[in-house]
Every structure is written in C-alpha cells, then in structure tokens.
Amino acid sequence: MRKALRAAVAVLATAALVATAAPPASAGGKSLRDAAPRYLKIGTAVAGGGHHVDQPYPDPFPNDRKYRQVLAREFSSASPENQMKWEFIHPERHRYNFGPADAIVAFARRHGQVVRGHTLLWHSQNPAWLEEGTFTKAELRRILKEHIFTVVGRYRGKIQQWDVANEIFNENGEYRQENIFIRELGPGIVADAFRWAHQADPRAQLFLNDYGVEWPGVKVDAYHALASELLAARVPLHGFASQAHLSMRYGAPDQLAAVLQRFDDLGLHTAITELDVRMDLPVTDEKLATQAVYYRTALDACLAVDGCNSFTIWGFTDKYSWVPVFFPAEGAATVMWDDFSRKPAYHTLRDTLAAAPRRHH
C-alpha cells in the first residue's frame, strides 16, 4: 500500500515537473483556429483580384495549392479580399461575376469556415459604369438596392458578417463625398443599405467597418454617434469593426480595447477585420519582435471585449500582401514569410489564443 502511494506521489511529482517545463499556453502543434476559444472566429483575407492582378504570379486562391492548404488549416473565417467588391462582382450594369466569390464560399463551407462579406457601400473599387454613368437619384437608389438584394441574397445563410458600410467617414469624421451613394443620395442611404441587407439575409451580422479607428478621436466619435442613431431608429446594425492596418511607425494599438468597448457598451458586436503590421525595410529580429507585440496587442483588445467575436488578418503570407505594393519602403506585414514559414507574430498569436479564457456568447 505504502509502495503504491509512493509510486503515485512520484508520478504526480513527475507530472508537475513536466507541467512547469511545458510552454505556458501549450499550443503545441495546433493551428490558430484550433488554439482559439470556440466563440472567436480567426480569419484571413482570401487573396485575389485588386493589386494581385498586376503581380507576376497567377491568381492566388485558385492556383496556389499550398496557400489553400494553409488557409484551410489555420483559419475559421474567410474574407474575400476583392472578389465581392462592386468592380469585381458587378463589372457591368446587367452582369454579375459570381464565380470567384462562389468558389471561396464553397471552400469555406467545405472546411468549416464562416465568411465575412466585403463590401456593399464603399467609395473605392466601384466599376466605371457606376462611377461614370449618369443616373437620376431614383435610378441610383434602385441600382444600390438591386445590388444588395442580388449579392446578399445569393449568399443568404452562408455569410456570418457583412461589411455593409465601408470607410464612410473621412479623417475629420465627415461623410466621405467620394462615396457616390452618400454624395448623390445623402447619408440616409447608409440606413437603407443596412435595412436592405437585413431583408436579403436576416441572419447575417451587419457591420460598419473602417481604418483609422484604432485610437480615440473624431472618426471614432462619428461612428459612435452614427451607431447610436441607427440603433435608436431600429436600423439592423449589429457590429462595428476596426480594420487595424497598423504601421510600426505609429505605435502599438494600446487603446483599441477601449475603443471597441465603447461600441460593445451600445450592445454591438465588434471585430478586427483587416489586421496587418507593416515595418520599414529591411527586416530585423528586433522589428519582428515588436511586430509580434503589435499583433498581440490587437488580439488582446478583442479578447478583452465581450462581444468581439471575429479576428481577421489581411492575408497570412507576405507573398501576397498588399502592403509593399501600396507602401514601397515598408513590408513584411503578415505573420508568415513568402514560403509560409512562421514569424514570431504567428507564434505569439497562437500562444495568446491558447491561453485565452474559453467564454460563451
């Protein structure tokens, strides 16, 4: 008996030793999606269209098998990077191009991923027929309504969240006059877009989405006022999202949790939808360590806020990142190198997810 007890104590002591020697979060060989608490979707942009069209590689999603393998393994949410934008999905007034978006939605379903639809009301990447056409106000309104019913309706029940209104305020917190719908029809069109999207897919969570809202300021205030107004008018608004395109020139997003909390307090979901962290080239180990801290700070912000249910990075490999194309002196903004090997930021995200409280929403 005593011998058995001694043996048991020995086993326990060994277990304790092993436990202290193990890495804190014991993320082991897990993927990001497996390390995450179940309520939190871990997403990525799905590369294609946009800047990719001018690059010396074939369209990434359909052509890069390794890319699709990592996409399926690591993520539980997929955001078409360009394939649901107006210029891509609605290239002529009476023609839609659904093929690439359909393929992403089908892939996501096969791999147990949700989809974030992006986007319905935006000033950028609109087709020439829309931007340069001459329409009466009534026609323009009908065009937007038809577009929303057609696109949202096609994927009804298959989209977890839609970025209904994207980047509608400028840096001064004013409605962007570059947005053809807002300029021609007035800001009231934003509420209509949410109502139409909700009619077309009552289960989708409908979001406001923007960059430059990672710190408090007039832009955040403008969104807070708009969100409060829409909710008071019973417009089906369900969430507020920070894109979080970060640069190491501007500091870590240390007030992001406080910003998200303001919208959580209104009863909205919140999300990080396009996170990346660019650095001045060349890359150094020190910069990679700082980059990991930025990624972690953004993830911690989402984890700290109850209704933050979606955390998406804007691409997972530098191979296809938009950053070097738009910011020539900067790069290395994603969590993996061109060959899909992992940077410190990847490991930090995974360890943080593995250590996160398992909450239910």
By beta-carbon proximity to ligand 9MR, the closer residue of 268 and 323 is 323
Distance CA 166, CA 142 (A): 20
Residue for token pair 């006022």: 225
Rounded CA separation 281/57 (Å)? 22
Can you tell me which of 43, 50, 60, 253 binds ligand 9MR, judged by CB under 6 A? 50
CB of 360 to ligand 9MR, least distance (A): 31
Q: Is 270 in the site for ligand 9MR (CB under 6 A)?
A: no
Name the residue nearer to ligand 9MR (CB basis): 69 or 124.
124
Beta bridge partners of 166: 209
Told to judge if 167 belongs to the known catalytic residues of this protein, a careful annotator would answer: yes
Two structure tokens written together for 281: 């080239």
* Residue number with CB closer to ligand 9MR (207 or 322): 322
- The CA distance from 245 to 297, in Å, is 13
Nearer to ligand 9MR, 235 or 323 (CB): 323
Nearer to ligand 9MR, 14 or 124 (CB): 124
Three-point CA angle 148, 205, 318, nearest 5°:
85
- Whether 254 contacts 294, CB under 8 Å: no
Q: Give min distance, CB of 211 to ligand 9MR, in A.
A: 6
CB of 116 to ligand 9MR, least distance (A): 11
Using CB under 6 A as the criterion, what x/- string covers residues 309-348 for binding ligand 9MR?
A: -------------x--------------------------
Q: Which of the residues 74, 81, 214, 274 is marked catalytic?
A: 274
CA 324 to chain centre: 19
Q: Which of the residues 74, 81, 167, 214 is marked catalytic?
A: 167
Which residues between 113 and 132 bind ligand 9MR (CB under 6 A)? 124-125
Q: Which of 224, 125, 119 minimizes the C-alpha distance to 164?
A: 119
Q: Look-up: residue for tokens 């890069």? A: 64
- CA angle, corner 241, sides to 43 and 31, nearest 5? 20
Q: Which residues are catalytic?
A: 167, 274
Which residues of this protein are in contact with ligand 9MR, per CB under 6 A? 50-51, 81-82, 124-125, 211, 243, 274, 322
